[in-house]
Amino acid sequence: MTSLFARTLREDPAEAEVASHKLLVRAAFIRRAAPGIYSWLPLGMRVKAKIEAIVREEMEAIGAQEVHFPALLPREPYEASGRWDDYGPLLFRLKDRKDADYLLAPTHEEMFTLLVKDLYSSYKDLPVSLFQIQTKYRDEARPRAGLLRGREFDMKDSYSFDIDDAGLEVSYQAHRQAYERIFTRLGLEYVIVSAMSGAMGGSRSEEFLCPTPIGEDTFVRSPGGYTANVEAVTTPVPEPLDYSDAPAAVVEDTPDSATIENLVEVANRVRPRADRPWTAADTLKNVVLTLSHPGGERELIVVGLPGDREVDLKRLEAAVAPAEAIAATDEDFAANPELVRGYIGPGVLGPQGPQTVDERTGETRSAIRYLLDPRVVEGTRWITGADVEGKHVFDLVMGRDFRADGTIEAAEVRAGDPAPDGSGPLELARGVEMGHVFQLGQLYAEALGLKVLDQNGKAVTVTMGSYGFGITRAVAQIAETNHDDRGLVWPLNIAPAHVHVLATGKGTEIFETAASLAAALEAQGVEVLYDDRPKVSAGVKFADAELIGIPYGLVVGRGLAESVVEIRNRRTGEREEVAPEAAVARLVELIGSAGR
Amino acid sequence: MTSLFARTLREDPAEAEVASHKLLVRAAFIRRAAPGIYSWLPLGMRVKAKIEAIVREEMEAIGAQEVHFPALLPREPYEASGRWDDYGPLLFRLKDRKDADYLLAPTHEEMFTLLVKDLYSSYKDLPVSLFQIQTKYRDEARPRAGLLRGREFDMKDSYSFDIDDAGLEVSYQAHRQAYERIFTRLGLEYVIVSAMSGAMGGSRSEEFLCPTPIGEDTFVRSPGGYTANVEAVTTPVPEPLDYSDAPAAVVEDTPDSATIENLVEVANRVRPRADRPWTAADTLKNVVLTLSHPGGERELIVVGLPGDREVDLKRLEAAVAPAEAIAATDEDFAANPELVRGYIGPGVLGPQGPQTVDERTGETRSAIRYLLDPRVVEGTRWITGADVEGKHVFDLVMGRDFRADGTIEAAEVRAGDPAPDGSGPLELARGVEMGHVFQLGQLYAEALGLKVLDQNGKAVTVTMGSYGFGITRAVAQIAETNHDDRGLVWPLNIAPAHVHVLATGKGTEIFETAASLAAALEAQGVEVLYDDRPKVSAGVKFADAELIGIPYGLVVGRGLAESVVEIRNRRTGEREEVAPEAAVARLVELIGSAGR
């Protein structure tokens, strides 16, 4: 400790919000270099290296081979795949001295595809799985929670290449199982959930989420075992209703009813229902949004959904990816005067609204695309805007009085909603995305021309999978789930050391005994951090040890006069007194082979 | 080999000029991703990892602690040190989504300084040495020679922090000696030469050069042991000459003498010398150059040097760093009509030329700065331009007839020139810069405010050293110096494997024996690459093995029928026949402990 490059802090760093961030900075594992960009100190380096070693072992165990790609990459391959644009502002872009476009890679599908294309040409070369442990870059709009969402971070990314879908399934399952072993070895609780593929494209993907209240992802699970990221939850579509005896739609004056809450109150007053009062679920809310497409094109759309639900922007964006969605602005409303704020109804939207000729396709289409929540099926009856200030229409029947351009999964998912597979009501929880496995299929191979000759000499497009694991994020999440109010509590196999030897007291005998015990432990293969600071109080040494969180402490102090040293278990708090000559054997026994 | 992600190439890649580049690509160690930017295949990864491990061991042996900084860094620290501008186009610059300036770090002095400032505050914390193995970025104008001069590459960089110069000297020597051990362990021949510090700043630096004809650096050595990068060679300054009886200067018509060669011929005709003919060394050549300063400012200067020497642009740039020097353009001459091309003399230059008032300092100075080679001392007599077309002046005496604004080390160094320390005539050779050690002194600590309290409680500025070693470049240089016309010849301790087992032939017995020998070797800790390709000819397997360059081959082929397998030494070509059951023990003996 006299030479270790580390200084613990008593105070939480000002910008830190979550426990892992506070503690990793205070215990001198990391320091911030810029927003979302961190430097690693010696203690942090050791933890990260141990996690990398575990990930590397499990990747090699399934036959994946390690390679390494540059982080600085030319634009062209990402242009070919469409991601140069699709990534939008998430991508760090730059130019070299010759004005050529480059990017800092957020992930490497394109480069792996091109490398396999460069080297391989036959079905006999497949399958192959490649991985790298590498620095990635994403220009997050809101880097937060320390290492949990950074802009420069380390990932293990791997890619599988197979001749057909059956092969992909095998590679995918091998990776999925390797991930399960990695999570288990890292002591990370996890849930595997169905996910949207987002900017990755591809046909099927699952996320490995670590449940935690500070997570940015929301996921659902049902009693019957359905799990999904909330963005991937599909709404069970009700059967269409018979509307043959539905009353005709009627427009009513509904002054001051621009909010759903007011509308329900007014509706119950101006046109009360016989059997029960109107509720928000009887209203059809039409939400105006602007999509920002990768090419820069903006498109106004309207989402219609039951008035008791809000639009979930993350679900909406997952549904319209790679476009980004933002709330419509005053300018948008000014440019579309048919949209009467607070009173927007289907009358001016979608097929029943103004039509226009699409510049690109030449086909006639709705001037304002109208997309409905899947619950708004044919035959359902609604109170909704009449497109006139202060007026709503009652008993407007979907399929009879209006139609839409399609459906969209944009409504919030709520606890108690039914699972799409009928496995019961959903429960919601939050998690951190630690891993993501994708069945990419032929998306990238097609875009970049990766084909091999099959057994009949025919060129076939290769089928790919892509698999990511957040190394940096794992450090944070392990800290997040392994701490108490005094500091970090590292699992033995990824702790920066196994034993923290503390010399507490003033006699030279204490320091000599502590030093020789530290040396004896190291001779047995035990990793030791020795607090040899001569003029630091026992209290400060204990506090630092608890903050740093090494699993076992060996305290050589006043007890030495009675031939006693103390072994402390950081996690349980248990203390055990042993004779100095028995300490090494006892610690080796406690540590076992697990930590070494 | 059936599963290894590698494909050897029979043809050299089109863009490759040097052997290491050709062979590393052909043998499937690396592939080009963009100019000066490479991807690493599994074989290359293994070599790089072994080099990293050696460097890491030697750094830890001198007590340096491993940390890791981001590659993507904010502008501010580099602005404070002046290097945001000084690096010029070498620096990759970019903006984030909030329009903040970032760079891809070419080296990390600033960040290390700030980190030590963040953690440490007392002389008791020092000395400390920190290192990282990290990806670096430099936007080279001419990336070349494969990994030898790339734009994204791995370096080990370390930094020492001491309370005073005596401490720095100790840290510097420790690093210097660690570097010597690294070069020895990597089998790299090296020369330690005095160097210019360039954009690094600081007071003293030495380079570790690997001598090679393809090197970009030129260095000198003398019989007495003087060594220096040619940029750092200082010219021994002659004593001033007595010019009391020198004849008066005379202007002569010298038509068609705009080149030195013509001038010498004309001079010997129009004003022959009694004792010997004039030579180019009697002429004073005045070379017009433009400096481009980091802020964008351009400055015209004239360098005066004996006519038998050329200006060495690299020496000139080292002398004027961080400015860049380029030849003067037609526009420059048009703007300065007093400069008569081919006939430029001191008359219009420096103190005897037009004077101007410096905008920044308000002081009067020469309109055209005139800098002389150190050999042009007071009392020397010259034939030089008369600043009139077709005329030169003879017997122009330095100190009597003209003066300059200063001297500059810009003339080429030639074999036979005297060493500045009197240790004999210099010999020139070329080398690759593999390491560079700097005594930075207080340059960065001052710019970034790194002070600690000394024993008397007084704040003192910390003294720093910085030490770089090119990991990527080492892979290339080891390949460059370890190959023959058939392929690579790796030293045992950094080879991708120790033994290349080759099954050559068709019998299942051959493949079974080869596989069991490979497994037996691995059980002994020997690293094996097993060529198990079933339908590949012996000739192709031998060619691939020689191209890849693993130190030992174990050939299991037709000889097996007579209970014989063959051990081959890739470097010496020696072959040895042994019984299959003796092969493992023999290989273990040959490999010894060196490779493991």
Per-residue pLDDT of B419-461, as tens digits, reads 999 999 999 999 999 999 999 999 999 999 999 999 999 999 9
C-alpha–C-alpha distance, residues A529 and A498, integer Å: 8
- Do the Cβ atoms of A151 and B72 come within 8 Å? yes
| Contact flag A119-B151 (C-beta cutoff 8 Å) | no
- Are B263 and B332 in a shared domain? yes
- Residues 6 or more apart whose CB falls under 8 angstroms from that of A561 comprise none
Residues B288-305 as b/e (b if ≥16 CB within 10 A, e otherwise) read: bbbbbebeeeeebbbbbb
Question: Does residue A337 sit within a domain?
Answer: yes
DSSP per-residue codes, B468-500: EEEHHHHHHHHHHHSEETTEE---GGGSS-SEE
pLDDT value for B304: 96
Query: Contact B96/A96, CB-based, under 8 Å?
Result: no
Question: Distance between CA A118 and CA A116 in Å, rounded?
Answer: 5
Per-residue pLDDT for B548 more than 70? yes
Q: Which residues contact B3 (CB under 8 A, 6 or more apart)?
A: A63, A65, A128
Which residues lie below 8 Å from residue A96, measured CB to CB, with a gap of 6+?
A: A102, B92, B139, B151
Q: What pLDDT shows up at residue B596? A: 45
Q: Is residue B149 part of a domain?
A: yes
Chain B (15-74) residues lying within 8 Å, Cβ to Cβ, of chain A? 28, 31, 33-34, 37-42, 45, 48, 63, 65-74
Q: Decide: B491 and B187 in contact? Cβ < 8 Å.
A: yes
If one counts the domains in chain A, the total is: 3
Give the model's confidence band at B188: pLDDT under 50 very low, under 70 low, under 90 confident, else very high. very high
Residue B341 lies in a domain: yes
Stretch B113-133: mean pLDDT: 96
Together in a domain, B351 and B449:
no
The CATH number of the domain holding residue B374 is 3.90.960.10
Most confident of A360-364, B14-18, B343-347: B343-347
Structural tokens at position A575: 């203390």
- The owner of tokens 């990816």 is A321
Average pLDDT, chain B: 93
What range defines the domain where residue A581 resides? 492-591
CATH number of the structural domain spanning residue B572: 3.40.50.800
Q: Which of residues 110-129 of B touch A (CB under 8 A)?
A: 111, 115, 118-120, 128
Q: Is A466:A107 a contact under the CB 8 Å cutoff?
A: yes
Interchain contact A92–B (C-beta under 8 A):
yes
At residue B194, the 3 state secondary structure works out as: strand
For B487, phi then psi, to 5°, come to 155, -160
Instruction: Supply the pLDDT for residue A519.
Output: 98
Question: What is the separation of C-alpha B567 from the centre of its chain, rounded to a whole number of angstroms?
Answer: 40
List C-alpha distances in Å: A536 to A366, A505, B490.
Answer: 75, 9, 51
A40 contacts on B by Cβ (under 8 Å): 67-69
One domain for residues B226 and B261: no
Distance from CA of B545 to the nearest CA of A (A): 18
Asked if residue A106 has a cis previous peptide bond (ω within 30° of 0), the answer is no
- Record: contact A94-B93, CB cut-off 8 A: yes
Does residue A318 lie within any of the structural domains? yes
Report whether B310 contacts B302 (CB < 8 A). no
Tell me if A102 and B34 make a contact (CB, 8 A cut-off). yes
B96 in A contact zone (CB under 8 Å): yes
Query: Do B299 and B403 reside in the same domain of the chain?
Result: yes
Pairing between strand A528-531 and A499-503? Answer: parallel
pTM of the full structure? 0.90
pLDDT at B411 over 50: yes
Report whether B399 contacts B378 (CB < 8 A). yes
In a domain, B420, yes or no: no
What CATH number does the domain containing B446 carry? Answer: 3.30.930.10
| B520 CA: distance to closest CA in chain A (Å) | 20
- Which residue of chain A has the CA closest to B120? A7
Q: What is the number of residues in chain A?
A: 596
Let me know whether A469 and A570 are in one domain. no
- Would residue B199 count as lying in a domain? yes
Closest residue in chain B to residue A114, using alpha carbons only: B33
Alpha-carbon distance A108 to nearest alpha carbon in chain B (angstroms): 12
Question: Where do we find the tokens 């591809």?
Answer: A202
Question: Rounded to whole angstroms, what are the CA distances from A277 to A259, A271, A308?
Answer: 17, 10, 14
User: In this structure, are B61 and B206 located in the same domain?
Assistant: yes
B141 close contact with A: CB closer than 8 A = yes
**Residues of chain A positioned with their CB less than 8 A from the CB of B120:** 7
Same domain, A70 and A180: yes
Is the confidence at residue B309, as pLDDT, over 70?
Answer: yes
CB contact under 8 A, B128 and A89: no
A16 is a domain residue: no
Kindly list the residues from chain B whose CB atom is less than 8 angstroms away from the CB atom of residue A102: 34, 92
Q: Does B137 touch chain A (CB under 8 A)?
A: yes
Same domain, A516 and A380: no
Q: How many CB atoms are located within 10 Å of the residue A521 CB?
A: 24
Nearest to B280 by CA among B261, B267, B304, B266: B261
User: Distance (Å) from the C-alpha of residue B127 to the closest C-alpha of chain A?
Assistant: 9
Q: Flag whether pLDDT at B479 surpasses 70.
A: yes
Residue A168 CA: distances (Å) to CA of A110, A180, A463, A466, B7: 18, 18, 7, 10, 23
> Which of B379, B407, B435 is the last residue in one of the domains?
B407
DSSP B113-174: HHHHHHH--BGGG--EEEEEEEEEE---SS-BTGGGB-SEEEEEEEEEEESSHHHHHHHHHH
Question: Tell me: the pLDDT tens digits for B287-303?
Answer: 999 998 877 788 999 99
CB environment A446-461: b (16+ within 10 A), e (fewer):
ebbebebeeeeeeebb
Mutate to test the interface with A, among B30, B39, B475 (most CBs of A within 10 A): B39
Q: What pLDDT, in 10s, does the model give residues A267-294?
A: 999 999 889 999 999 999 999 999 988 7
Predicted local distance difference test score (pLDDT) of residue B148 = 85
For chain A, percent of residues with pLDDT exceeding 70 = 98
Cβ <8 Å between A7 and B119: yes
ipTM over the 0.85 cut-off: yes
How high is the pLDDT of residue A595? 47
pLDDT tens for each residue of B71-101: 999 999 999 998 998 888 899 999 999 999 9
Q: Per the CB < 8 Å rule, is A40 touching B102?
A: no
CA-to-CA distance for B6 and B16, rounded, in angstroms?
A: 19
For residue B527, give how far its alpha carbon lies from the nearest alpha carbon of chain A (Å).
Answer: 15
Quote the pLDDT of residue A197: 62
Contact B31 A97 (CB under 8 A): no
Q: Which residue of A has its CA nearest to B98?
A: A141
DSSP 8-state assignment for residue B568? E
Q: What would the two tokens of residue B468 be?
A: 């770089």
Segments of chain A scoring below 70 in pLDDT: 197-202, 593-596
Structure token digits, residue A49: 């290296």
A36: distance to nearest CA of chain B, Å? 10
The residue behind tokens 């030897």 is A501
Residues A432 and A522 in one domain: no
Inter-chain CB pairs, A–B, below 8 Å: 133
How many helices (H) does chain B have, and how many strands (E)? 14, 33
Q: Is residue B596 part of a domain?
A: no
**Interface touch A34/B74, C-beta < 8 Å:** yes
Determine, for residues B128 and A5 on separate chains, whether the beta-carbon distance falls below 8 Å: yes
Q: Report pLDDT digits (tens) over B493-528.
A: 999 999 999 999 888 999 999 999 999 999 999 999
Q: Are residues A436 and A356 in the same domain?
A: no
pLDDT classification of B359: cutoffs 50, 70, 90: confident
Structural tokens at position B263: 């001038």
If contacts are CB pairs under 8 Å, which of residues 151-210 in chain A contact chain B? 151-152
Helices (H) and strands (E) in chain A, counts: 14, 33
Residue B310 pLDDT: 95
Q: Which residues of A touch B63 (CB under 8 A)?
A: 3
Q: Are residues A317 and A433 in the same domain?
A: no
> Among B407, B436, B452, where does a domain finish?
B407
pLDDT for B202: 57
A147 vs B: CB within 8 A: no
Nearest CA in chain A to B44: A67
Q: What are phi and psi of B513, to 5 degrees?
A: -65, -45
B272 shares its domain with B141 = no
Q: Other C-beta atoms within 10 Å of B557: how many? A: 20
Work out the minimum CA distance from A21 to partner chain B, whole angstroms: 17
Contact call for residues B237 and B377 (beta carbons, < 8 A): yes
